[in-house]
């Protein structure tokens, strides 16, 4: 059984968030603890805990995450200079909310992804 998440409440608009995009498959909103000038979370409307839990029927929602990231990056005016998309899976990767979400980060030089 999938647990209710904080993101589920944002999707249903029970919790206030700065929502930038929403359709029947995904919702995108600003992160409340931004790590870059533009830090947006794009979440699947259906609660899928991790990448490991993806099934073939989730393909449309996952594709929509990428398409919406591109649209949002253009609206945020970060597409030209570049941005980073990150999806963490489970504890060792740093996943804190067990509801698939993608971080869209940009608006500054982000540097290397991992410490060398």
Distances (CA, A) of 66 to 13, 44, 59, 109: 22, 11, 11, 21
The yes-or-no answer on residue 39 being catalytic is: no
Q: Cβ contacts of residue 7 below 8 Å, gap of 6+? A: 27, 41, 43, 47, 97, 99, 101
Among the listed residues 39, 58, 91, 101, the single catalytic one is 101
| Active-site annotation, residues | 101
């Amino acid at each position: 059984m999938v647990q209710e998440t904080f993101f589920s409440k944002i999707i249903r608009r029970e919790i206030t968030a700065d929502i930038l995009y929403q359709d029947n498959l995904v919702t995108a909103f600003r992160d409340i603890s931004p790590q870059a000038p533009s830090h947006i979370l794009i979440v699947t409307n259906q609660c899928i805990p991790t990448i490991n839990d993806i099934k073939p029927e989730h393909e449309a929602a996952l594709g929509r995450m990428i398409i919406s990231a591109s649209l949002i990056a253009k609206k945020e005016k970060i597409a030209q200079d570049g941005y980073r998309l990150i999806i963490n899976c489970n504890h060792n990767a740093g996943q804190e909310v067990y509801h698939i979400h993608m971080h869209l980060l940009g608006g500054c030089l982000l540097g290397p992804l991992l410490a060398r």
